[in-house]
Structure 1
Amino acid sequence: MKTVVITSNTSWYLYNFRKNTILALLKEGYRVVAVSPQDAYSQKLTELGAEYCHISIDQGGTNPIKDVASFFGFVSLYRRIRPNVVLNFTPKNNIYSTLAARFVGAKAINNIAGLGMVFINENLTAKLARLLYKISQPRAHTIFFQNDEDKALFAKHKLAPLDITDRVPGSGADLSRFAISESDDDGCIRFLLIARMLYDKGIGHYVEAARALRAKYGDKVEFRLLGFLDVNNPSAVSKAEMQSWVDEGIVNYLGTSDCVEDEIAKVDCMVLPSFYREGVPKSLLEACAMGKPIVTTDNVGCRETVDDGINGYLCEPRSTESLVDKLDLMINHTHEQRLAMGLKSRIKVENEFDEKIVINKYLSAVERALSE
């Protein structure tokens, strides 16, 4: 039996974003080993039928000693597991797990799900990250990009040979789980932002826009936030900041949820004013699948989810004024107009972002890696 390892910087990510990939690999008869830091979702991975191994990864940190320890942790694990193929997700895994896989003779298949701040900043950390990509990525068997701009950027900086690269439509959306769900027509327009609570995701602009539109429309509009708070990231929103916004009556913070579809179903529009280099945001794809119009930035990864004026609106990155304008347009549509835009979202995700497309790409890549 061939062994496929699947890695990420959280077990939460593997369970919530790659559950169906794991199930598809198991169905094909592979031994599947999930490698990620232990959290509340690690046990859920074993319940799917995968084996689980803990790895220590300093997700948002820049301590080189911890990163070297992660690399040797991968090497130690892979010597014991003896994988044939390793599927890597999230940045540090793409780097250190790829190098460790090469060390033990396994083939690495990487997913570049957005390049974050690596190509936005010119600080020492960003330059070091680019160097590590340049060292590690040519040693991968296949590199999947979620948008063409990231692929072009890799080519421009000569970070990996183009003949090992391919494109997938984000993480895709599970069209059976995320079905069309119409919001209530009760006179209140509800917006939702799902993401890690990072300023890079446009949280500050969303809050400022909410403040302006609540002042204009009062209780006729509501702004909700869902996602991890106070995470290990320089751009993180603190618990105190979030609580101050909630106390002010600007936003409602919903915490986290394993059933995001329940929250998406209740709202009229999904929003993500990110200026981070996204892959293709899964929250937007899932909202599209549920028939919701989208307001997001004309930014790498985000723009792929919106045909401007058809299933939503694109605003300028880092511009609260532009975001307010687009949200105002959505507020002034009738309920029926918003539903019609949402149906266009569903059609778009069916045609371009079905999760089955992504899973089949991975199964084919694993098969190729094993045959070479």
Structure 2
Amino acid sequence: MKILILTNSIVGLYKFRKELLYRFIENKYEVVVSSPNDDPKDYILNLKNNGIEYLETFVDRRGVNPLKDLKLLKNYLNMIKTQDPDYVLTYTIKPNIYGSLASKLLRKKYINNVTGLGTSLQQDSLLSKILKKMYKVSFSKSECIFFQNQVNMSFFIENKILFSDKQSIKLIPGSGVNLEVFYPRKKSLVDKKIRFLFIGRLMDEKGLKEYLECAKNIKEKNKNVEFQILGPFEEKKYKEIIKKLEEKNIVNYLGVSTDIREQVKEIDCIINPSWHEGMSNVLLESGAMKKFLIASEIPGCKEIVINNKTGLTFEVKNEKSLEEQILKYLKLDEVERENIIENCYSYIKNNFSREKVIEEYIKKIS
């Protein structure tokens, strides 16, 4: 059995799906991975050392240049012809569309994972209409389409991109969380400062603007808090914005991490103000480490963070709503915080194990 995996980021694949790849190897499958080379720390080498072949393919994640996308389709066609896999697995938007289309044209079996909708698909625009048609054509012969939340699945069905009675559709708990890797660890910092952390690509759609505005407002009223930021600059404008805020001691930029456990260990509360998610890995991993969670009330977050039970939620794109929940968190006493943290930990442990996701893939391919 030979499996070809197409994705737009080797980092995301390694961090969230390496256990699946290694299970394939254990099952004596031949595994080939194709992605852009965005490897900051030997992820590709680790895959190769475990018997996985790597092929570099450029994917313009956010671009809308049709010539580049046609080139990507041509690359996928050539790759699938050359590799001749039994199954093609695709993740993220462009590999899902063009990888599926190439597989369909070459009559190869393929399985898709919809990791999120993206802003373009949800807008009332010509681009949205084109994307829906492309998904419909590309997914029409899929062996199975995995969705990470119910709202995304319903969107595809309601917009007649998929037909639930004719196609194999399955809801899975995101990428799941490896509970042997992400577990509670003691802080080494012993001061009384309360630390908040934003983790993600630094861009508008991750809610960074709202996070920064709240940091400015709350720091004026409460000096005993620290707002941290961890992640790469997806939109370059934020380099100057964050630099100025650092100079005023409003935020603390931590750079990029190859192991977020080291940063998460030292903070009190994770804030995810994202506009859209498939299923938030940041929330799953941080909750498994017993950190308090505050998140946008959106699909992909609200399945994990149930307001006042497993964390606090706020209205997406609403910095005032986010600020109110941060202030509410600061007013909670230690017992109230710990109860919510424990509820969240148990909920994630019982419902979001990565092993469940792996088993779904193995069942489909077997």
Tell me how far 1:185 sits from its aligned partner: 5.7
Partner of 1:274: 274
In structure 2, distance between residues paired with 1:323 and 1:337: 19
Tell me how far 1:336 sits from its aligned partner: 4.3
Q: Which range is displaced more, 354-363 or 42-51?
A: 42-51
Deviations 1:54-108 (A, max 9, x none): 1121111110000010001001011110011111111000000011112222211
Out of 118, 137, 158, which is 2:139 matched to? Answer: 137
Tell me how far 1:38 sits from its aligned partner: 2.1
CA contact (8 A) 2:173 2:352 kept: yes
Letter in 1 for 2:265: A
Tell me how far 1:315 sits from its aligned partner: 0.5
Partner of 1:214: 219
In structure 2, distance between residues paired with 1:85 and 1:124: 33
SS in 2 for 1:314: strand
Letter in 2 for 1:247: E
In structure 2, distance between residues paired with 1:307 and 1:263: 24
CA contact (8 A) 1:56 1:73 kept: no
In structure 2, distance between residues paired with 1:47 and 1:61: 33
In structure 1, distance between residues paired with 2:239 and 2:190: 33
CA contact (8 A) 2:210 2:317 kept: yes
The alignment's TM-score, normalised by the length of structure 1, stands at: 0.93
Aligned residue pairs total: 360
In structure 2, distance between residues paired with 1:82 and 1:301: 34
In structure 2, distance between residues paired with 1:22 and 1:57: 21
In structure 1, distance between residues paired with 2:196 and 2:337: 12
Deviations 1:137-176 (A, max 9, x none): 1121100001111111100111122131101101111100
The alignment's TM-score, normalised by the length of structure 2, stands at: 0.94
Describe how 1:1-372 pairs up with structure 2 within 5 A: 2-40=1-39, 41-162=43-164, 163-183=167-187, 186-218=191-223, 220-230=224-234, 237-276=237-276, 278-367=277-366
Partner of 1:370: none
Letter in 2 for 1:52: Y
Deviations 1:119-154 (A, max 9, x none): 432233333222211211112110000111111110
Letter in 2 for 1:190: R
Percentage identity across aligned positions? Answer: 31
CA contact (8 A) 1:138 1:161 kept: no
Classify 1:31/1:227 alpha carbon distance in 2 versus 1 (closer, same or farther; 3 Å).
Answer: same
Tell me how far 1:182 sits from its aligned partner: 4.3
Tell me how far 1:6 sits from its aligned partner: 1.3
Structure 1 gaps of 5+ residues are 368-372
